[in-house]
Structures are given as structure tokens and as C-alpha cells.
Structure 1
Amino acid sequence: MLGALNKVKRYPREAAFRRQQGVPYIRFVMNREGKVLSVRLERSSGVRSLDDEALSLPKRASPLPRPPEEVKGDSIELVVPVEFFMS
């Protein structure tokens, strides 16, 4: 899941210019086909542009990989960290 999100992740220009870093946590719900149904910020990074980029990732990456069969339910709720660090 993180791999699919990281493929579409972009470092916000403003944050890169200011050398801002952080790890927002997002909570999202997807269906069994990988379609993102909802996204919200679980924990802020303290940097608005990083939080906004993290919130846009799941829908940009949709459809996400289907959950494995052993994960039950019509929808799956996940909380994931989105890391923004400068090299």
C-alpha cells in the first residue's frame, strides 16, 4: 500500500523551498476493488502543505492494490504515515 502511495507522492514546492520536513498520518477507507472512499488527517505533521499533499495521495493513487483475501470486510480502513524528508 505504501509503495502505491509513494509512487504518486510529490514534495510540495513551498515545503521543499523552506526545507520543511514531517510525517503526517492519514486515515483512509477503501473498498475491496481498491477504490478510495474517504480520506482524513489522523495526525498533522505541523506543516500544512505536507498535510495537504498526504491527504491527496490515496485518491491520486486510486485504484489502490486490492486487499488480500484474509483481510475481511467490504471496506478496509487504514492509518498510514506519509514521510517527507529532505535528502
Structure 2
Amino acid sequence: MSAAGACAGFGAICGSSLATATTLSQVALPELERPHYDKRLAAGTVAAAGTLGILNPPSVPLIISAVLPQASLAKLVLAALVPGL
């Protein structure tokens, strides 16, 4: 759960799913392997949670997708809040 939370927070700041999954795989996977979690389960958790970070407001892609077409940022933040949680 802490790895998924870290991915969500880092992804919202970073704005890149690939960078989030790569960075947190270097940090979180050794910590998940220490108590002998299954390697496939740990890698899948970090990979899946890394993609969720771009949904959490105030993520960079969310702001860009509101500014470029001149859409309402408040509506996009509310729309992304539920899936992000």
C-alpha cells in the first residue's frame, strides 16, 4: 500500500507514468523483496500504481489537457478525483 501511495504522489508531481514506474521500481522493489513478497506481485503493483499517478490532481498532464483546449480545470480535477482515489 505504501508503494502504491508513493507511486500516486510521485506520479502527480512528475507527470510521467514511465518515469514514476521506473523510479519507484528502483526504490520500492528492493524493499518489497526484503520481506519475501512475490517478485511478480511486487513488480505488478508498482507498474499498475505508476500509471495511476497522472490521474491524481494536480497532475501535470491534467493541467495541460485543460489549458490547451481551454477547458474547465475545475471540472477536469473533479472528474479525475474519483478514479485517482
Q: TM-score range by the shorter chain?
A: 0.3 to 0.5
Higher RCO by CA contacts (8 Å cutoff, separation 6 or greater): 1
Q: Larger Rg: 1 or 2?
A: 2
Kindly indicate which of the two structures has a greater share of residues assigned to strand.
1
Of Structure 1 and Structure 2, the greater helix share is in 2
